[in-house]
Structure formats: structure tokens, C-alpha cells
Amino acid sequence: MTPPKRNNQWCVPSFDCEIVNEPLVKRTNTRELNKSLSNTSFTQNNFKRRKHETCLSKLLEACEPQKLSELAISRQKQNEISNWFQYKASKRQPSMLVLSGPSGCGKTVAIKLLAKENGFDIIEWITPIDQIEDENKRVMRQGDKFEDHVIRATRYRTVLGNYSKQLLLVKDLPNVYQEDHKGFFTLVEKYFQIGKEPVIFVCTETGNSRLMQTLFAPNVREKFGIDLINVNAATQTAVKNILKRVSGVLNAIAADMLYVSQQHIDEILSNSVGDVRSAVLNLIFISLKVPEQHLKSECGVREETLGLLHGVGRVINPKKQSDGDSTKYVHDPEEISAFFQSQSVVFVQFLQENYLNTIRTIEEATVASDILSLADVLNSEWRDRNLGKVALSYCIRGLMLANEKPVTGWNPVKKPRDDHSNIQRCLITAETRWYESIIKPCLKKMNEMSIVNEDEDMEIIIEED
């Protein structure tokens, strides 16, 4: 009977797995390890060896920019962000940046590339979907977990980083701070007292976003010294260059599934509103290789791809044709709204900018302005996504009916002004001040009445004495 083998390990782990005595492995050099990891990483070079990639997330990952020249953000904004990294974030003092801009303009990708260039590791906060529990299995508030994460990530260094500096990136702020503004301000104040590493908040400005007016208002940024950089939507030239680069990548790694042609790129550019992410997704789906037997189905397919400018022209200059004793529109309003349901806010903004070019009388202009105002109200209601579709359909039908005899002639479609969000902020501020002008005098009168009543009670008590 052979004696049992003795365990030569001096430390017994507490994990629920068996201890396996393996021969010692020689440690590899750090440079060799990094080199091997870089060779096996998920990059475009490794993608090019394959032609049958079908995972959408991997396709999008392969299309991400690898150099600063491939970004959709302008050089001026890149220099502003880089200067903030050099003169604010590198001082090992608490510093905070708010990077705002429309959806899909490349804010997060630009931060990651510029952080890597300036020697920063990125720790990103992702709001959990499930309930959060602490070490004792007790349910934690989302705000408490976020506060703990901010303090830990900005005060202590991670051992998994590649650089000597790190920053915290927050794209998805917990919903609890949409109402609890004081709690967020307390957290920011605590961060500036004990934090050491910089924090970047990425805010997506939309037509119904009030984050910049509540949590990052000008007086709040001035109080805590928070920097703000606004990024514009991607230009048509930038989107075109990105789609050309992406088309080569997609044709190389997924040739079995899709084929991107110049015609597909032109169709995407005709509907582009500066959203690079949406343009790349649409390019992937429109370039799928579909068998011919599946093209004709019971549902049918659209015979055309309606561009944004053509859609605006069909609404503000509706054409009619006689059908017996009655007339009907050449272009169905419901079909027009079906093309732009994913960008209803942008389409309504284009109509607001151009609807006066083809209206003859002041009465028709009054009706059209009322229709557009109601469409704005419906689009600002974020609690129900279907209201955006209702607002788009209502706006298109209303403008086409209001404009009975449109002005004929060549009218170029104008792009909405970039200060649309600023106008909305001014309107909100004006509305708030108007309500305050009504409420504050009432409160003042109530306070005066209460003071008078207190004085009368005091006189009565003194007379009784």
C-alpha cells in the first residue's frame, strides 16, 4: 500500500475547487505577454482573415476607429479635449468634464482614443439592471452604489491598468438623480474633497433632455469648476469618409453575409442626420445578401428609399391629383411618416425651419404653427415612445392639409439651426420665471397676512393680560 502523497503547498486556498499539484511554470516576460495578447486581440487585422463573421456586436467592434484621423469629431474639438487632459486631468487633482452632443456623433470613442494617447486607463460605470446587493446580501440603493463606485474609482488605483493614470467615464447616470438633485450635488461636493482622479460625464442632448439644465446648470458648473465641451453632429463629409472606411472592413470580414456597394452608401447618406452609429447600423442591414425568393413576400417591400430632403419637400409642397369628383395626395402621408419614425424629432425640426417657404396666407401659417407647436409638445413627452410616432403622423398630415395652394418655385431645404437646444432652454427659463412671477407675489401676500394675524393675536393676548 503506497503512502499518501503529502501536499507541499504551504497555503491552502479557500475556494470550492480541488487542489491540483502542477509543475511550476516559468513566468513569461511582460513584453512577450503583451505581445501575445495583442496578437490574439479582436482587431481589424485579425478580422480580415475571416470572411464569415455574423455577430453584429463583433462587426460593430471591427468598425470602431483606431486612429484619431478616423474620428467623426472635428480637429478643433479633439484639441479641446486633449488640452483638458494635459492641463486639467494630468495634475492628479479632482477635475470634472461634461462632454455633451447629439447621439452617435462619436463622443465616447473620442474619449477612449484621446485617453489612451494621453496615458489614461478608463474605468467605465455601467448602471446595473438587476437589484444591487452589498457584501451582506442587503439591497442597496442605486445612488449609494454609484457613490461608492465614484469614490473608489477616483481615489484608489487599479492593479489591472496599463498606464499610471486613470479616469472614470460615466455615460449612463443613475435615474435616481433625475429627481434627487441635492443628492447628486452632495456627491459632487464629496468628490472634490477626497477624489484624486478625473471624471468625465458623457451627456447625449436630445429634444427632450433636461440633464444639462438640472444637474449641470451653468451655476452648478461655476460653483464646482466643472468644464463643458459641446460636440456638434457629424458633418456629411465625415459620415461619408467613415462609411467608405467601414465598407472595406465589412466586405473583408463578412463577405459571405453582406456586400456594401457605393449605391448603399449613397442611400444612407441621403438620410444621414449626423448620427454615425445609426448610419453604420443601417449600412449593415441594407447590405445584407437576401435570397431572391425571400424578396417577394406577402408583406411586400418598399419600392424606393425616401431621403430626408425629399421627404420634407413632399410635406411642405404637397401634390394632388384628381380622382373622379375628389382629389387625393400623390404621396401618402402615412408612407412618409413610416420612413422617418426613428428620427421624428429631427424631421419635425426640418419642417419647422422650412414650412414658411411654401405657405401663401397668414391664416395657413397660423394653423401650421399651431400644428408644429403641438408636435413639439408630443415629442417632449419621454414617458411614452409611441407619442413620437403620433406627433410625426399628426404633423405631416396637418401641414399637408393646411397648405392648400403651396407657392410654386425652387425652395432649397434649410438645415435646422444648431441653437435649437439653446432656444428650448431659453423657453424653459422664461416659463419658469413667468410662473415664479405669479407664485412669488401670492406667497408674499400670504406671508404678510400671516404676520398681520400674528400681530393681532399678540394684541389680544396683551389685552387679556
In angstroms, the CA 465 to CA 456 distance is 14
pLDDT for res 227:
92
pLDDT for res 114:
92
C-alpha cell at 127: 448602471
Beta-bridge partners for 132: 140
In angstroms, the CA 283 to CA 251 distance is 12
pLDDT for res 145:
84
Q: Which residues contact 55 (CB under 8 A, 6 or more apart)?
A: none
pLDDT for res 449:
62
CATH number, span 73-230: 3.40.50.300
> DSSP label at 357?
G
pLDDT for res 20:
40
Task: Name the 3-class secondary structure at 320.
Answer: strand
| Residues present in the chain in total | 465
Let me know: does 312 contact 413? Beta carbons within 8 Å: yes
Sign of the C-alpha dihedral, residues 13, 18, 24, 29? negative
**Kind of pairing, strands 165-170 and 320-323?**
unpaired
In angstroms, the CA 103 to CA 98 distance is 15
What is the pTM (predicted TM-score) of this model? 0.59
pLDDT for res 27:
46
Backbone phi and psi for residue 315, each to the nearest 5 degrees, phi listed first? -85, -50
Let me know: does 121 contact 162? Beta carbons within 8 Å: yes
- H-only helix segments in 271-361: 276-286, 308-316, 333-339, 344-354
Let me know: does 413 contact 196? Beta carbons within 8 Å: no
C-alpha cell at 148: 461608492
What are 98-123's pLDDT values in tens digits? 998 888 888 999 999 999 998 898 98
In angstroms, the CA 11 to CA 37 distance is 30
The identity of residue 190, as a single letter, is K
Q: Which of 226, 168, 171 is nearest to 196 (CA)?
A: 168
C-alpha cell at 216: 449641470
pLDDT for res 17:
42
Neighbours of 155 (CB within 10 A): 13
Q: Which residues of 440-449 are buried (b: 16+ CB within 10 A; e: fewer)?
A: eeeeeeeeee
What are 311-338's pLDDT values in tens digits? 888 888 888 887 777 788 888 888 888 8
In angstroms, the CA 253 to CA 401 distance is 49
* Residue ranges, the chain, pLDDT below 70: 1-51, 129-137, 206-210, 290-306, 381-383, 418-428, 442-465
